[in-house]
Amino acid sequence: APAGLTPHPQAAEIASMSWDALREAVSGCRACPLCESRRQTVFGAGHPQAHWMLVGEAPGEQEDLRGEPFVGKAGQLLDNMLRAVGLGRGEASPEQQVCIANVLKCRPPGNRNPGPEEVLRCEPFLMRQVELVRPKLILAMGRFAVQSLLGSTEPIGRLRGRMHEYHGVPLVVTYHPAYLLRNPLDKARSWEDLCLAGEVYR
């Protein structure tokens, strides 16, 4: 861990938990101060056997209210983009479904950026989620997902457009949907990223 930062005290246990135990552990987590301000944790959504796993940043206001990832404006954009390539949440088969998780399971107050210690404490949950889902493809959306999964601080613009790998799983980097709401001209590039992901595994 980086100097001065301490990992989640149960990191070792988390690394071998079942899906249900993991969900329980997330909902009761008090490993960082975000547990004081959250309404509830947001574990993730979608079929745990989904072939694509999407990773975002952290719950926002709507997610904190509803306990589901990507249910606000950014989530609507994400759902529309997924639908256009024949994917979604809650579809019949794991092939058409995506599984969605965030780096942080609790909302940072006012939707500020995740802090380094929050990321470090929360990461064992995401790592275990990826391990249990064993997706065929990971779509890392935005710089916090990229930092956690690739350990890279390069801008998205320099990492997108080519393949990466996380623990042997092909990984495609793309813009965060909330960024696309502010920078709609980059939607064309995120389309290319979805297509690249589709070429790798579909």
Residues that bind ligand URA (CB under 6 A): 56-60, 63, 69-70, 72, 74-75, 102, 178
Q: Tell me how far apart the alpha carbons of residues 118 and 106 are, in angstroms, rounded to a whole number.
A: 9
Angle at 168 between CA 179 and CA 23, to 5 degrees: 65
Q: Tell me how far apart the alpha carbons of residues 20 and 63 are, in angstroms, rounded to a whole number.
A: 20
Nearest distance in Å: CB 8, ligand URA: 20
Q: Which is nearer to ligand URA, 32 or 126 (CB)?
A: 126
User: Which position's Cβ is nearest ligand URA?
Assistant: 56
Cα–Cα nearest to 44, from 23, 25, 60, 75: 23
Nearest distance in Å: CB 56, ligand URA: 3
Nearest distance in Å: CB 3, ligand URA: 27
Q: Which is nearer to ligand URA, 48 or 56 (CB)?
A: 56
Nearest distance in Å: CB 178, ligand URA: 6
| Sign of the C-alpha dihedral computed for residues 57, 58, 59 and 60 taken in this order | negative
Q: Which is nearer to ligand URA, 57 or 123 (CB)?
A: 57
Q: What are phi and psi of 56, to 5 degrees?
A: -105, -155
Helix ranges (DSSP H) in 44-175: 61-66, 73-84, 116-133, 143-150, 156-159
Q: Which is nearer to ligand URA, 48 or 69 (CB)?
A: 69
Q: Which is nearer to ligand URA, 166 or 175 (CB)?
A: 175
3-state SS, residue 61? helix
Nearest distance in Å: CB 35, ligand URA: 17
